[in-house]
Chains A and B, each alone.
Chain A
Amino acid sequence: MRLGFLACLLTLAAASAHGQGQVNVYNWSDYIAEDQLKRFTAETGIKVNYTTYDSNEILDAKLRAGKSGYDVVLPTASPFFVRQLAANLYQPLDRSKLKNWGNLDPRIMESLARLDPLNVHGIPWMWGTIGIGYNVPEIRKRMVNAPVDSLSMIFEPSIVSRFVDCGVMVIDSATDVLPAAMKFRAIDPDSKVAEDINRAGEVVKAIRPFVRKFHSSEYINALAGGDICLAFGYSGDILQARDRAANAATPRDIAFANPNQGTMLWIDVAAIPKDAPNPDAAHRFLDFMLDPRTAAASTTLTRYANANLAATALLDPSISGNRAIYPNADDRARLYTISAGTPEQIRERTRLWTAIKTGR
């Protein structure tokens, strides 16, 4: 890992190339439709140096090391973007250069504004929830009326224990799972009170014996390949697993449900680092991301909802009408967001999470 980090540092030199006609975009893998990138270059003449990452932590470490050389990056709003804002890593956006700004979904903007007041530093790109992914026949075989749309499916030991033999995975993320465990106990999921966090820890400890693995992404393949039958993870990841399983040689019926108690809303934000070498090109790229065509094509690719209201009409109804991708008004009313917390709180949370996972 240290070697990997050194390699990252070395590539920074290459990434920090200056030039009017280019923009250095650092994005999640498979997060923007590639033909759209070509359209951007065709329309503006700006070359896109596109590199990808697969975890927020990698982006975070690069930005914190300074002089990343990137013009546009896409951190997840909480806890990453908000902590990076506190470290003053982003520049305010120049809205006069973003003529498509009006396409943005005001409800998502409002949620994001709780972390970035007045939406000064970032535009929401994709958003989604955390929920329950399950293999429909395998679950039914073990529990006919399983509460698939409830947090008790994951956090109630007497329920989750029924699925041990077919396999349960939970996303390896303290900031996603502990708030959900608090919600399950009807505690404010954003509470930073030690007592509440510890109660959430007890909830997860109680189900740990039934969880095969906590991992950031393995549940996608495991669910699609039939290695597990129940997962708690990101909506888009599970929908990807569903599509993959449906098209497999031996198709499997995978479904996704948002917990009826309410679930976390995550938002990935496009922002411009303070020391971006090409801020003008970066603004043009953001404006291009705000173009409904770009957002719609990318949602079709990723199966994540975008924050672009004008793009919804361009989507296939099987996507825009899918409650797992675009939750209905009731679901949306129950979404919550999480604030970052102090470094001490973060350390305590990580410590508790390690203790839970390793059964210490």
Chain B
Amino acid sequence: MRFIIALPYLWLAVFFLLPFALVLGIALGTSTPDSVPPVQLGFSLASFKLLVTDDLYLAAWLSSLRIAATSTLVALLLGYPMAYAIARASAARRPLLLMLVVLPFWTSFLIRVYAWMGLLSENGILNQFLRWSGIASNPGTILGTEWAVHLGIVYAYLPFMILPLYSTLEKLDWSLLEAAADLGARPFSAFLTITLPLSLPGIVAGCLLVFIPATGEFVIPDLLGGTQTLMIGKVLWDEFFTNSDWPLASAVAICLLVLLVGPIALFQRQQTKSLERRP
């Protein structure tokens, strides 16, 4: 029994703490491009110092946060009504609706992003349709803009928003809403005072599941985004592959993790505490 309880901690230690320690070790080393591996272990803060002094990294980080935050918000606004509709659907139809949400995962992520390229490009299916239908004779190109990055992130991560939202909404005691209606609350105010607060854990979980991977996203901005889209994932790639600077790449990864996961973990703990306090 004790072993089973220890299992998640063991998992965390082997697959999170250990790699984290390795990356931290490399981040504290010095870059030696002419050796194998190209890093000399030690205790040097030079890489972290460069991160602070060069505004490129801050700009990339802020730009990633901005894109991730707006995409998360859009995913929430789209995902909430969908999760709500699934939760209120008849028990017989729910499995089908849930399966439709999960269905895209049966195709490779990369192929789905490529499919968006085919849809959004200059002579893509979307523009061909716009021209053919006469809606727009000279439509612009979405591919290669930040719009396409947002679209790609919202599309790819929407199921991660819907599923946790659904699982909280599904457990909701709908008789509370009936009681509110009996006491004269309009549907909208009943939603604001009952449904929304009670689904907060789902909202937090969904937002985190979208926001965290979106911040470090590399594939979507690389394929759908344009040249001007600066994201921390691309900066990390450049440090590791173009500059062969493992310590700096590791330092970027560490900072990304600490600056992202730290506040989020605190926030989540706060959330669960405040929920526990509630009667």
Q: Which A residues contact B (CB, under 8 angstroms)? A: 1-2, 55, 57-58, 60-61, 63-66, 83, 86-89, 167, 172, 174, 208, 211-215, 222, 225-228, 343, 346-347, 350-351, 354-355, 357-360
Contact = CB atoms under 8 A, between A and B. Distances in A.
Interface in B194-238: 218, 226-230, 233, 235-238
Interface in B42-61: 54, 56, 59
A90 B255 CA distance: 35
B47 to A, nearest CB: 12
B123 A83 contact: no
A87 B121 contact: no
Given A1-B233, A357-B227, A61 B243 contact: no
B122 A351 contact: no
A214 B227 contact: yes
A178 to B, nearest CB: 13
Given A213-B227, A359-B228, A65 B37 contact: yes
A354 B37 contact: no
A360 B240 contact: no
Q: Interface range on chain B: under 10, 10 to 19, 20 to 34, or 35 or more?
A: 20 to 34
Given A57-B242, A83-B244, A213-B227, A343 B37 contact: no
Contacts of A1: 218, 233, 236-237, 240
A346 B236 CA distance: 15
A87 B123 contact: no
Interface stretch (B28-36, B77-85, B100-108): B28-36
Contact of B245 (A2, A174, A347): A347
B164 interface: no
B228 A350 contact: no
Contact of B37 (A66, A222, A350): A66
Contacts of A66: 36-37
A227 to B, nearest CB: 4
A167 B141 CA distance: 10
Contacts of B159: none
A169 to B, nearest CB: 9
Nearest to B237: A1
A222 B122 CA distance: 9
B238 to A, nearest CB: 6
A226 B123 contact: yes
A179 to B, nearest CB: 16
A58 B35 CA distance: 17
14 contacts: A57-B242, A58-B241, A60-B241, A63-B36, A64-B37, A213-B144, A227-B122, A346-B242, A347-B245, A350-B238, A350-B242, A358-B229, A359-B228, A360-B59
Contact of A354 (B123, B230, B253): B230
B228 A227 contact: no
- Judged by DSSP, the binding face of B is loop
Contacts of B233: 1
Interface in B4-47: 31, 33-38
A213 B226 contact: yes
Contacts, number: 91
Nearest to B23: A2
**Chain B CB within 10 A, most for which of A65, A88, A350:** A350
A359 B146 CA distance: 14
Contacts of B31: 343
Contacts of B36: 63-66, 87-89
Given A58-B241, A66-B36, 17 more contacts: A1-B218, A1-B233, A57-B242, A61-B240, A61-B241, A86-B33, A88-B34, A174-B242, A213-B227, A215-B227, A225-B123, A227-B141, A228-B122, A343-B33, A346-B242, A357-B228, A360-B56
Interface in B131-148: 141, 144
Contacts of B122: 167, 222, 226-228
Contact of B121 (A55, A227, A354): A227
B15 to A, nearest CB: 10
Contacts of A357: 227-228
B144 to A, nearest CB: 5
Q: Which 9 A-B pairs have the closest CB atoms?
A: A57-B241, A227-B122, A358-B230, A66-B36, A357-B227, A87-B34, A214-B227, A343-B33, A86-B34
Nearest to A61: B241
B123 A227 contact: yes
A60 B238 contact: no
A275 B35 CA distance: 14
Nearest to A167: B122
Contact of A346 (B37, B54, B229, B243): B243
Contacts of A346: 242-244
Contacts of A208: 227
B30 to A, nearest CB: 11
A358 B244 contact: no
Given A86-B34, A347-B245, A358 B240 contact: no
**Chain A CB within 10 A, most for which of B59, B122, B227:** B227
A327 B228 CA distance: 35
Nearest to A228: B122
Contacts of A65: 36-37
A89 B36 CA distance: 8
Contacts of B235: 354
A212 B228 CA distance: 10
